[in-house]
Amino acid sequence: MFSTPFSSHVGRGEFTDVYDPAEDTFLLMDALEKDVNEIRKLCCTDINPLAAACSVESARCNGVNIQPIITDLVTGLMPRLQNQVDVLIFNPPYVVTPSEEIGGHGIEASWAGGERGREVMDRLFPQVSALLSSQGLFYLVTIQENNPEEIIQSLKSSSLKGTVLISRQAGREHLSVLKFWKA
């Protein structure tokens, strides 16, 4: 087991408007720990420059060096990384909210998922298969309202197999991490 990364700066000071690690973050860490031997190196992206700067600080505090790419989903990665991504991890804004809350610039952008909580993740799904290498893995955090089984079925049309890797009840939310790979 890995120790919980240092993150006491998140949600404080200059990072006040960055989402604190919570149950979804820790469930994702547990899921990734299960597959740690399959994960070698990571490149991170975020649409929020402040969240990216906070990630750099979190990495520095934990002895890791990262250089985040500021981009909307994977826009800044295509087509350069087509069929090159070995591990794609997405902890999206998944909370069911009114659609107009999506794309805001405040902290609500970190959780506002729109209708069924899927408006942001549904934008990424058509690009996942094109990004993944032949051995690539895609990890996705969802809640029950996102209908994880429907997501698994819908990504089959992109030649991706999927499963619920880990699930946990966290307060009112039933969280799951889904794992996908090329069929």
Task: Give the predicted TM-score (pTM) of the model.
Answer: 0.86
Is residue 18 situated within a structural domain?
A: yes
Strand (E) or helix (H) holding 124: helix 119-131
* CA count, 13 A, side-chain hemisphere, 42: 20
Is residue 6 situated within a structural domain?
A: no
Total tally of structural domains belonging to the chain: 1
Is residue 7 situated within a structural domain?
A: no
Is residue 146 situated within a structural domain?
A: yes
Look up the CATH number of the domain holding residue 33. 3.40.50.150
Which residues have C-beta within 8 Å of that of residue 97, sequence separation ≥ 6? 108, 111, 112, 113, 114, 117
Q: Which residues pair with 112 in a beta bridge?
A: 95
Is residue 82 situated within a structural domain?
A: yes
Is residue 2 situated within a structural domain?
A: no
CA distance 79 to 130: 9
CA distance 53 to 48: 9
Provide the pLDDT for residue 90: 93
pLDDT, tens digit (0-9, with 9 covering 90-100), for 2-47: 677 778 888 888 888 888 888 888 888 888 887 776 665 677 888 8
Is residue 78 situated within a structural domain?
A: yes
For residue 18, give its domain range: 13-182
Is residue 5 situated within a structural domain?
A: no
Q: Is 81 helix (H, G, I), strand (E, B) or coil?
A: coil
pLDDT, tens digit (0-9, with 9 covering 90-100), for 35-66: 776 665 677 888 888 989 999 998 888 888 88
